[in-house]
Amino acid sequence: MVILDTDHISLLERIGSPEWTRLRDRLETAAETLPTVTIVSYEEQVRGWLTCISAAKSLVDQVKAYQRLLNQLRNYCAWKVLPFDELAATQFRALRNQKVRIGTMDLKIAAIALAAGATLLSRNLSDFGRVPGLVVEDWTK
């Protein structure tokens, strides 16, 4: 199983870029029939869009931001979303005890991937590379 990190999910929302094309092509040839993501990525993205909506200076900007939020919701409804459950929480606690120094949200995503025995797809190889036992790949190259 491969799990998309938030940055790979964001790339899939930017249709037409060279990275989008490479990622889409790799995903189409992968064994999975639909992308697997985490609830933590969903939280990160929803928080971002809610910030955009509240910061919008006009109704036109709000309409655009709400449309992007709706598109994101539709994507997540079509994908397999892994929870931050007890297994992931146990992994997270263990990583914290090992003093792995990356952001909390990234550490939660890594914990979910470890609990699922999955490969994490991300461009953030430097941070995720600090997580012992985590397999991380960048499919945009």
Domains recognised in the chain with CATH numbers? 2-38+80-137 (3.40.50.1010)
Smallest CA-to-CA distance from 100 within 79, 126, 77 is with 126
Q: What proportion of the chain, given as a percentage, has pLDDT over 90? A: 74
Assess whether pLDDT exceeds 90 at residue 18. no
As a whole number of angstroms, the distance between CA 54 and CA 62 comes to 8
Across the chain, the runs of DSSP E, i.e. the strands, are 2-4, 36-38, 80-82, 119-121, 135-137
As a whole number of angstroms, the distance between CA 110 and CA 39 comes to 12
- Kindly compute the dihedral angle of the four CA atoms of residues 24, 25, 29, 30, in this order, to the nearest 10 degrees: -40
**Mean pLDDT over residues 40-53, rounded?**
95
Assess whether pLDDT exceeds 70 at residue 33. no
8 Å CB contact between 105 and 9 = no
| Amino acid, single-letter form, for residue 82 | L
Name the more confident of 1 and 18.
1
- Output phi, psi for 123, to 5 deg: -85, -10
8 Å CB contact between 20 and 39 = no
Q: What's the pLDDT tens digit per position in 51-86?
A: 999 999 999 999 999 999 999 999 899 999 999 999
Name the more confident of 27 and 120.
120
